[in-house]
């Protein structure tokens, strides 16, 4: 797990598991609960998908663009290997 505070006033929290996260369903439930606790209203229906040679990242944005909040899922070789969220503070 990592927590980063970046300029200007940005928080990013992520969890990485290179061999893969055992339960994608449980990971999603935990992520959804955490971003709700942080006050974000994420649109889980329309991810932005960024593909790379070995995987992809799905980014879901807060419906209020003023929060500049997001949640993300990272896949490597079709396995969920990372989850997290970020927001401007």
Its pTM stands at 0.85
Please write the tens of the pLDDT for every residue from 8-29: 667 888 999 999 999 999 999 9
Domain housing 7: 2-88
pLDDT at residue 58, rounded to an integer: 96
The domain tally of the chain equals 1
pLDDT at residue 17, rounded to an integer: 94
Q: What is the DSSP string of 1-43?
A: -EEEEETTTEEEEEEE-TT--S-HHHHHHHHHHHHHHTT--B-
pLDDT at residue 1, rounded to an integer: 58
Please write the tens of the pLDDT for every residue from 45-88: 989 999 999 899 999 999 987 778 999 999 999 999 999 999 88
| Residues 17, 62, 45, 48, CA torsion sign | negative
């Amino acid at each position: 797990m990592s927590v980063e505070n970046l300029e200007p006033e940005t928080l990013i929290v992520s969890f990485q598991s290179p061999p893969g996260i055992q339960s994608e369903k449980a990971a999603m439930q935990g992520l959804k609960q955490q971003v709700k606790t942080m006050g974000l209203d994420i649109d889980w229906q329309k991810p932005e998908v960024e593909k790379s040679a070995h995987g992809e990242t799905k980014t879901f944005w807060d419906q209020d663009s003023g929060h500049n909040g997001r949640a993300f899922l990272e896949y490597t070789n079709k396995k969920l290997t990372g989850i997290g969220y970020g927001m401007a503070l």
